[in-house]
Structure formats: C-alpha cells, structure tokens
Amino acid sequence: MNIFQTHKNMNYILKNRQLSQSVYSWAKFNNQGINYYFYSDDQCDLFMKTTAPQIHKDIYTAYCKLPLAVMKADLWRYCIIYHFGGIYADN
C-alpha cells in the first residue's frame, strides 16, 4: 500500500512539532508493507509536469492555472492516487 502526503517542504515540517509528528506517524510504517511518500510543493509540480500528462494531456495546464497552492495540492492528490494507487493522508 502507498501513503502520500504533501506540504510546502520538509524544512517547514521539521520546524513545526505537530506537523513533524504527523509525518513521522506515517513514515514509521515504511518497510512494513506500506510505502510512505512525502512530496514537497516542488516535487508535486515536477510530478504534475512529467507524469500527469500520461493521465490526460491537458492536466498540467489546468494545474498551472489554479490560483491557490491548496487547489494545486488537491489536483495533485487525485493524480498521484490515480497513477500509483494508495491513499492520501493529511497532516
């Protein structure tokens, strides 16, 4: 099973005790039949640019037009789960 999370970047997470505990709570399951993946905003953008067009040719264009980072994260979440399968866990 795959578990995906995203946030601004890992440095931001590490500076916030509550957020870092949340990430750790999922990451500790790695190598126990669960694969945990954290994507920063930059990694989300790269995925959407390089992989999402395999889902639909116009998806990256739509992603770039979204005005808020949270909206981009929502679209990324659907695409990452569609492409790899698994679940998304909020912080």
Which residue type occupies 72? K
Quickly state the pLDDT bin for 3 (edges 50, 70, 90). very high
Q: How far is 71 from 41, CA to CA, in rounded Å?
A: 12
Is the pLDDT at 91 greater than 70, yes or no? no
pLDDT at position 77 is: 96
Length of the chain: 91
What is the reported pTM? 0.84
Q: How far is 44 from 33, CA to CA, in rounded Å?
A: 24
The domain spans of the chain are: 2-88
Phi, psi of 67 (to 5 degrees): -80, -20
Instruction: Encode pLDDT of 22-66 as tens digits.
Output: 777 777 777 778 898 999 999 999 999 999 988 889 999 999 999
